Homo-oligomer: A and B are copies of this chain.
Amino acid sequence: MTVFRTLLAAGIGLGLLAGAAIGQSADEKAIQAAIKARQAQMDLYAFNLGALGAMAKGEIPYDAAQAGAAAGNLAKLTTLNGMAYWLPGSDNMSADNTRALPAIWEAGSDVGKMARDLAEAAAALETAATTDLAALQAALGPVGQACGACHKAYRAPE
């Protein structure tokens, strides 16, 4: 099928699902691919927050366009559908290469609410980022708190 040859020629597509380690079961491969993907999303959060944090601290000059781009990226990233990344069985007791605690998937987990809190704080930050430096600084607080709340509740220490 031409579509898949095109995807393969592009160097994308099914490679991730194929898994890197020999001897992994299909499930283990899918779990590792999901863990890698959600960590990629966290890396993109951190990259965009890094630029905003550096501006807020005065380490780099405030630039409304740059701040708006970073905050706009962050806001979009927080609205990605993460169901495929947060597979049951991808917690740190069941899988390697992750600090995600089993409590994420247990009854009473409020991880969904925490994700919505982050998306809300990021949407507010997107507006604030292009207003001025003081607005950017103020709006970073709730984003950091949303990150921290989820990490504290659902991420194992290093």
Scoring A57, A73, A77 by chain B CB atoms within 10 A of each residue's CB, the highest score goes to A73
Scoring A2, A13, A42, A77 by chain B CB atoms within 10 A of each residue's CB, the highest score goes to A13
Chain B contacts of A47 at CB under 8 A? 16, 33-34, 36-37, 40, 84-85
User: Binary interface profile of A, 1-36, with partner B (CB < 8 Å = 1, else 0)?
Assistant: 111101101111111110000000000000001101
Q: In the complex, which residue of chain B has the Cβ closest to the Cβ of A6?
A: B144
Cβ contact within 8 Å between A70 and B84: yes
**Chain B proximity of A79: nearest CB distance (Å):** 7
- Indicate if A49 sits at the interface (CB-CB under 8 A): yes
**Chain B proximity of A32: nearest CB distance (Å):** 11
* Stretch in A90-98, A100-108, A145-153 with 4+ CB within 8 Å of B: A145-153
Chain B contacts of A127 at CB under 8 A? none
Chain B contacts of A141 at CB under 8 A? 2-3, 6
Q: Is the interface of A mostly helix, strand, loop or mixed?
A: helix
Copies of this chain: 2
Cβ contact within 8 Å between B33 and A144: no
Cβ contact within 8 Å between A13 and B53: yes
Chain B contacts of A11 at CB under 8 A? 147-148, 151, 155
- Indicate if A56 sits at the interface (CB-CB under 8 A): yes
- Indicate if A69 sits at the interface (CB-CB under 8 A): yes
Q: In the complex, which residue of chain B has the Cβ closest to the Cβ of A74?
A: B80
Cβ contact within 8 Å between B41 and A66: no
Scoring A41, A42, A66 by chain B CB atoms within 10 A of each residue's CB, the highest score goes to A41
Which 4 residue pairs spanning A and B have beta carbons closest together? A10-B148, A6-B144, A10-B147, A37-B47
